[in-house]
Amino acid sequence: MEKNQIDEDIIPYLKVTLIGDSGSGKTCIINRYINNDFFPDKVSTIGVSCSNKLISEENKLLRIDLWDTAGQEQYRALGRHFYKDSYVIILVYDITNRESFENLKIVWYKDLLKHNEKYTILAVVGNKNDLYEVEKVSEDEGRNYAKEINAIFMLVSAKNGDNINNLFNDIVNLYWEPEFQEKVDEISNKDNGSVRLKKVFKKEEDMFRSKICC
């Protein structure tokens, strides 16, 4: 292997899954973080899609795999397979859409409790903060709910990029904390010593594609 060549098979990856109603802006948040772009007319996600980003912090490499789950009810069961073993779950709502916030509590979070491990980092994210003048959910409501479920809280705007990088920086910092790394080791041991590397990601991706194509 050349000196500067990166072996992606030995880079740990952080699996992050975004859940929430269709139209809340999950895809736009991912696209802003990965590509620093915004496409307001992007077609809604069908099933599940994945993007990734390689970051370096304090001489440590980490690949962030961002799983974007469809918000439509008919795809919800498929999404469960992908967020049940994520290290991070981001619950996204639209601050201009009251129903999207209520559904976080009565649909998405309850579904999450049925299928996710106890070690997960949670984040409650209110998107479209650029439209604060027509908000239907106050910042205090969002913050109080996040506190209730022991989650990070952030108001963001995928449109102008406000707080997008701050959100993922906070998540990565929590991931690298020694206390959480102990939980990562616990998960690895539970999985017979395997670590969540590219090979595992590829297996999940292939499984997803086979379900969509059939």
Instruction: Examine residue 181 and state whether it is found in any structural domain, yes or no.
Output: no
Q: How confident is the model at residue 213 (pLDDT cuts 50, 70, 90)?
A: very low
Condensed to tens digits (0 to 9), the pLDDT of residues 93-122 reads 999 999 999 999 998 998 888 876 666 899
Q: Is the pLDDT of residue 193 over 60?
A: no
Question: What digits encode the pLDDT tens for the residues 133-188?
Answer: 999 999 999 999 999 999 999 999 999 999 999 999 999 999 999 888 887 777 66
Decide which of 1 and 206 is more confident: 206
Question: Is 1 part of any domain?
Answer: no
Note whether residue 114 is domain-resident.
Answer: yes
Whole domain around residue 25: which residue ranges?
Answer: 8-167
**Range with lowest mean pLDDT among 7-16, 66-75, 104-113, 134-143:** 66-75
Judge whether 159 lies within some domain. yes
Residue 147 falls within a domain, yes or no? yes
Taking residues 206-212, report their average pLDDT: 42
173 domain-assigned: no
Task: State the SS3 of the chain.
Answer: CCCCCCCHHHCCEEEEEEECCCCCCHHHHHHHHHHCCCCCCCCCCCCEEEEEEEEEECCEEEEEEEEEECCCHHHHHHHHHHHCCCCEEEEEEECCCHHHHHHHHHHHHHHHHHHCCCCCEEEEEEECHHHHHHCCCCHHHHHHHHHHCCCEEEECCCCCCCCHHHHHHHHHHHHHCHHHHHHHHHHHHHCCCCCCCHHHHHHHHHHHHHHHHC
Say which residue, 14 or 191, is predicted with more confidence. Answer: 14
155 within a domain of the structure (yes/no) = yes
Look at residue 13 and tell me whether its pLDDT is greater than 70.
yes
| Domain presence at residue 19 | yes
How many domains, in total, are found in the chain?
Answer: 1
Task: Provide the CATH number for the domain around residue 162.
Answer: 3.40.50.300
